[in-house]
Structure 1
Amino acid sequence: MRKLKITMTFNLSKLQLEESRNEVVIYDQTSDIAAYKQFFISLKLRGLSDRSIQLYMYNIDKFNRFISKPFKKITANDIRSYIAHRTLVDKIANSTLDHERGVVVRFFSWLYEEEYITTNPSKRIEKIKVEKRLLESFTVAEVEFLRDSCRGLKQKMVLEMLLSTACRVSELVTLRMENYDRSGGTISVIGKGNKERIVFIHARAKIYIDAYLEKFPHDHGPIICGGDGIGSEMSTSGIQKMIKTIAGRAGVKEAYPHKFRRTTATDASHRGMALNDVRDLLGHSSAETTLLYIDSSKNDLKAKHAQFVG
């Protein structure tokens, strides 16, 4: 039924879908442009990163180019036409489609709440069903292969920090000496949505951090130094390339920084950490998201069977 509805919407708006549009069209100088600008200001005030705001802008501009109407005249069918076009013509994945739908819905909901428009055309726009896939983690053996394949203090430190803190790579590169409690083994980090949380340094990671700081002594700026030395920040792409290099030596496939985050969540859960605690460790707002990070395929069912059965 959903595919039929999309196809019908597409056919009914065929002329509109085929029309070429190359520029963002904002009609009302006193209303639409002001609303457009104020929306992004509101996102910034909510603490969204510049990258997230750029993604919002990219998706809203793409929608505006397609519809080419004043905000007040846009209807639910216009939004459905856009979704139909992205599904049937551009053939994008449902996960991407639902993300774009969410951006458009949030934009028009904000316009309505701020009284730039009198009705909310996005109110009846249905969510796109996205199949949730379990995210894989490293096996115990793969982690050891990666450890053995590190070369130099920096690589060893970065790998252990990824495992210990469960930080996103964008968070890891911003960890600063000023926020590092060396005696307590904790670091405060600013995560998604400008939310602050505490991450923890285990013994193995602390050994390599201490050794790294002896070689590159500093008590201000990023803990992990970039290419310009002390005080410079390593890039996320630099960390990604480092992990790819280590994995190549180790013979471990599909290795990237975010997989360490899943591995830490999986290990913590299997060792008995409560779901809400794992959620706090990862900095998630929803336990449902955290569940996707816990790889149940790594459960040792045979050992559990021997422990609890018979």
Structure 2
Amino acid sequence: MESVIAIVLAQMQPILAAEQIKTLAEVLRSAFNLNNTSTTAPQTSHLLEMFLTAKEVEGCSPKTIEYYRSTLTMMNDAIMKPCTLIESDDLRKYLNDYEVKRGASKVTIDNIRRIMSSFFAWLEDEDYIVKSPVRRIKRIKTAVIAKETFSDEQLETVRESCTTTRDRAIVDMLASTGMRIGELTRLNRSDIDFRERECIVTGKGNKQRPVYFDARAKTSLQNYLSTRNDNNPALFVTLNGTSRRASVGSVEGRMRRIEKSIDVGRVHPHKFRRTLATHAIGKGMPIEQVQRLLGHAKIETTMHYAMVDQNNVKASHRKYLE
């Protein structure tokens, strides 16, 4: 019955004002004895599960699906209205309360807004609502902070601080390919083509793409593999003697250990990726090729990763404007 009421309300939205829609909803629920909020929960829950299934079909990772689920469940629990009746003001109040009570950053709030936008856009596309209430909520402005990258000297320092052939191979692969840490840990030995110095990685949405490594990474990788006597197909395995596939957490832990032993700022896998993008653009590589190399769906993401080197800006000014 709740679904029937939702359809009626959706059809009446173009005709009635918001307050009239609310009144109509109350009258219908009263007529069908559905005023108990617990009976409206299955409707929202059902739609949320359908939405998550749709995102899974689109290729979203289990981690992304769970992030969507927790974010939207928290929103529904706070607003306490069927999702088909949620309005823009409800969402604005929720975002404001979330930011104030949790001290959340603008980036976090905009991430929540984007997830809500995806959910309500799906409800609109599937004809559960006439218009997404998120349409009236504009993108939240966030401060653009130039994140750190490694200089050539810092990269050499990181390489020299590696105490195992495995860690050296990991650093050289991350630095020369720009692949994500999850892509690196999923690699198998059979994925590596040493002759062409390339490998196929599986990125977000299970999309595959080729990445390329330099001669230094090739040598480091061959040196590491020559020390292996296990049968695990994984390209990188743990260092504790169990020969299990290395996890994202274990690699990040090794990077933190390296960070503590040297003075080059933070050392984490994503910094290698950002460094590659910045250096590639700085040396004149077309942004579209950098986008493909990094496996970004949108070129805006590539531009966000690749911070323009101020020295290049200064040199270009002198070249073109003086």
**After TM superposition, is the score higher than 0.5?**
yes
Deviation at 1:66, TM superposition (A): 0.6
Counterpart pick for 1:273 among 282, 285, 295: 285
User: What is the match of residue 157 of structure 1?
Assistant: 169
Q: What code does the residue aligned with 1:151 have?
A: T
- 8 Å CA contact 2:169–2:224 kept in 1: the answer is yes
User: What is the match of residue 177 of structure 1?
Assistant: 189
2 CA distance for matches of 1:249 and 1:143? 14
- 8 Å CA contact 1:72–1:118 kept in 2: the answer is no
Structure 1 or 2, whichever has the larger Rg, is 2
Sequence identity, in percent?
30
Counterpart pick for 1:34 among 46, 53, 57: 46
- The reply on whether 1:240 has 2:272 as its aligned counterpart is no
- 8 Å CA contact 1:48–1:192 kept in 2: the answer is yes
Deviation at 1:199, TM superposition (A): 0.8
- 8 Å CA contact 2:162–2:168 kept in 1: the answer is yes
Deviation at 1:106, TM superposition (A): 1.1
Deviation at 1:96, TM superposition (A): 0.3
2 CA distance for matches of 1:274 and 1:152? 35
User: What is the match of residue 6 of structure 1?
Assistant: none
- Select between 113-122 and 73-82 the one with higher mean Cα deviation: 113-122
2 CA distance for matches of 1:248 and 1:30? 50
Deviation at 1:45, TM superposition (A): 0.9
TM-score when scaled to structure 1? 0.83
- 8 Å CA contact 1:178–1:219 kept in 2: the answer is no
Number of residue pairs matched by the alignment: 286
Provide the alpha-carbon RMSD of the alignment. 2.5
- 8 Å CA contact 1:221–1:231 kept in 2: the answer is no
Q: CA, structure 1 residues 199+218, in 2 after alignment: closer, same or farther (shift >3 Å)?
A: farther
Q: CA, structure 1 residues 179+220, in 2 after alignment: closer, same or farther (shift >3 Å)?
A: farther
- 8 Å CA contact 1:185–1:201 kept in 2: the answer is yes
2 CA distance for matches of 1:26 and 1:135? 46
Q: What code does the residue aligned with 2:288 have?
A: N
- The reply on whether 1:191 has 2:203 as its aligned counterpart is yes
TM-score when scaled to structure 2? 0.80
Q: CA, structure 1 residues 214+63, in 2 after alignment: closer, same or farther (shift >3 Å)?
A: same
Deviation at 1:283, TM superposition (A): 1.1
- 8 Å CA contact 2:41–2:82 kept in 1: the answer is no
Deviation at 1:217, TM superposition (A): 5.0
User: What is the match of residue 105 of structure 1?
Assistant: 117
SS at the partner of 1:296? coil
Larger RCO of the pair (alpha carbons < 8 Å, separation 6+): 1
Deviation at 1:209, TM superposition (A): 1.0
- 8 Å CA contact 1:180–1:186 kept in 2: the answer is yes
- Select between 265-274 and 26-35 the one with higher mean Cα deviation: 26-35
Counterpart pick for 1:214 among 226, 229, 236: 226
SS at the partner of 2:244? strand
- 8 Å CA contact 1:27–1:69 kept in 2: the answer is no
SS at the partner of 1:122? helix
